[in-house]
Amino acid sequence: MEDMSEHPLYRMLHPRSIAFWGASSDPTAMGSFQLAQMLAMGFEGAVYPIHPREKKIMGLPAFAHVKDVPGPVDLAVFVLPTRVVPEILEECGMAGIRRVIIVSGGFAEMGSEGKELQDHLAEIARKYGIRMLGPNCIGVVNPYVKLNTTFFPYDARPGFIGMASQSGSFVTQMFTHLNHFGLGFSQAISVGNEAVTDITDCLKYLSLCPKTKVIGLYVESIRRGRDFVRVAKEVSKRKPIVAHYVGGSESGKRAALSHTGALAGPDELYDGIFKQCGIIRAHTSEELFDFCFVLGTQPPPAGNSVAVLTHSGGPGAAAADEAERSGLAMAEFSSKTLEGLSALLPGTARMGNPVDLTFNRNPNDYAQSIPAVLLGDSGVDSLFIYLLLPSHRVAQVITSLGASPEQAANMASDFVKAQASLVLSLTPRFGKPVVGGSYCMREDQFIRELQDRGLPVLPSPERAVKALAALSRYARAREALLSERGA
């Protein structure tokens, strides 16, 4: 199967119609939040609220039973009390619904009694051939079809990160986080207790999604180890996977057990599994998305050496320090490169690596000419560039040269766009990864331009370099997988 639309999860993330349980005229009910969010996102398919008594919910006709709904239902979403879930699931099965998202909790995460109830759900699902997600999950997001079953407004843009998460929060509460970088999900799936659909299924599905350039996983435990390894090894050859695993410490393990009933394993075990599959491990939630930003936009480098370009000594030194700590090698420049640099650098500049310009004579030197010299060196596999070009400062200079404030603002904006284009042209031209770091973020036009047009810019030199090192690890792992016998 190489076509996403043939995968059993496809219709769950591309439903034409949804039956929704748990919304009502009580606006403070969780289900009401979720339905309100779904409608606010502008989902274009049919939505059928189901409610035992109410006739109209949020302006939509409500139905007492799913069998009363006047059309076919691609997806059912339950935000219901635990005890009624089996009965309603059965009802769905009888009505021919084949995809159900169970948001309700109170199952395996609550102990053995809950686990029994959950097994019963799985049995019903099997009986009817229902592809079930959850229970104890928060559902799915597919911004490309304006689908959001969660209770959080999806305010990020449609993006390239495919996410499968054993925590609903690491879907919903990432919307804001991604927005801070101009990033977005391609599709995101909260798997909850994984009674039927697990993270391995999602991995396979996301690998088929053409909008997904990188797959992010939040993992508390992997249930089907062998299948996971088999699938992940295949996927890693074509698409990078980044995983945040929290079950490796004793405390993380205990927290995971009570969260989704997951049985976590020791760090070393998971490190081993991830390495074997070419999965890049993130140690924090920030790293997860930092790495996704870089691995989802930049080509894998041929080797481990990095050039650091800066006009500020401190950030350059911090980048160099982090490069070594993260396992990159600071590139040694060829004599041709040094020659090329000496023609471009002012007298106060430093020609070694980091290249520290100290100040900019011609802005194009920094955005284009010097990076081109560095990336043209066969001993340089990747480039970190420290970025700082505040529009207000550019406008200040232009104003002081006699332009009106309005003219200056327009000219500054055009200038910043052009500078961004120069930086963005480097990767296509040299086929090598470029990552930016800056303490300015999206309040600054330059950074917005770069991030929105595909250059990863992270909020410090260290984070950027660490993510570049992750990309380099992925490149090595991918090579190894591709050269395995039978690959």
Region of 96 (left: φ > 0; alpha: ψ -120 to 50; beta: rest) is: left
- Count the site residues for a copy of itself by CB under 8 A: 76
83 scored as a contact of a copy of itself (CB under 8 A): no
CA angle 74, 184, 102 (to 5 degrees): 35
The interface mask with a copy of itself, positions 324-353, x = CB under 8 A, is xx----x----------------xx-x-x-
State in angstroms the smallest separation of the CB of 417 from a copy of itself. 21
Binds a copy of itself (CB under 8 A): choice among 15, 105, 340, 433: 105
441/451 Cα distance (integer angstroms): 9
Asked if the peptide bond before residue 135 counts as cis, ω within 30 degrees of 0, the response is yes
319/116 Cα distance (integer angstroms): 53
Pick the closer one to a copy of itself by CB: 313 or 405.
313
Binds a copy of itself (CB under 8 A): choice among 5, 112, 335, 400: 400
Hey, how many other C-beta atoms are within 10 angstroms of the C-beta on 339? 12
The interface mask with a copy of itself, positions 421-460, x = CB under 8 A, is ------------------xxx-x---------------xx
> Quick check: 38 and 148 in contact, CB under 8 A?
yes
> Quick check: 166 and 245 in contact, CB under 8 A?
no
With CB under 8 A as the contact rule, which of the stretches 203-211, 245-253, 291-299, 414-422 interacts with a copy of itself?
245-253
> Quick check: 188 and 167 in contact, CB under 8 A?
no
The interface mask with a copy of itself, positions 192-221, x = CB under 8 A, is --------------------------x-x-
163 scored as a contact of a copy of itself (CB under 8 A): no
Binds a copy of itself (CB under 8 A): choice among 358, 369, 410, 413: 358
State in angstroms the smallest separation of the CB of 170 from a copy of itself. 5
Pick the closer one to a copy of itself by CB: 172 or 236.
172
State in angstroms the smallest separation of the CB of 352 from a copy of itself. 6
With CB under 8 A as the contact rule, which of the stretches 104-112, 226-234, 372-380, 467-475 interacts with a copy of itself?
104-112
Mapping DSSP onto H, E and C, the string for 192-219 reads CCCCCCCHHHHHHHHHCCCCCCEEEEEE
Residue linked to tokens 């659909």: 197
Outline where 173-303 has alpha helix (H): 174-179, 199-207, 225-238, 250-260, 267-277, 285-295
Pick the closer one to a copy of itself by CB: 97 or 191.
191
Binds a copy of itself (CB under 8 A): choice among 77, 256, 380, 389: 256
Helices 391-400 & 405-424 angle (0-180, nearest 10): 130
Pick the closer one to a copy of itself by CB: 68 or 404.
404
Which of 12, 189, 195 is CA-nearest to residue 99? 12
245/88 Cα distance (integer angstroms): 34
With CB under 8 A as the contact rule, which of the stretches 61-69, 201-209, 320-328, 372-380 interacts with a copy of itself?
320-328
291 scored as a contact of a copy of itself (CB under 8 A): no
State in angstroms the smallest separation of the CB of 314 from a copy of itself. 2
State how far Cα 362 lies from the chain centre: 36
State in angstroms the smallest separation of the CB of 142 from a copy of itself. 20
> Quick check: 137 and 78 in contact, CB under 8 A?
no
Pick the closer one to a copy of itself by CB: 15 or 114.
114
112/218 Cα distance (integer angstroms): 24
Binds a copy of itself (CB under 8 A): choice among 187, 260, 391, 451: 260
The interface mask with a copy of itself, positions 137-156, x = CB under 8 A, is ----------------x---
Of residues 10-49, those binding a copy of itself (CB under 8 A): 27-28, 30, 36
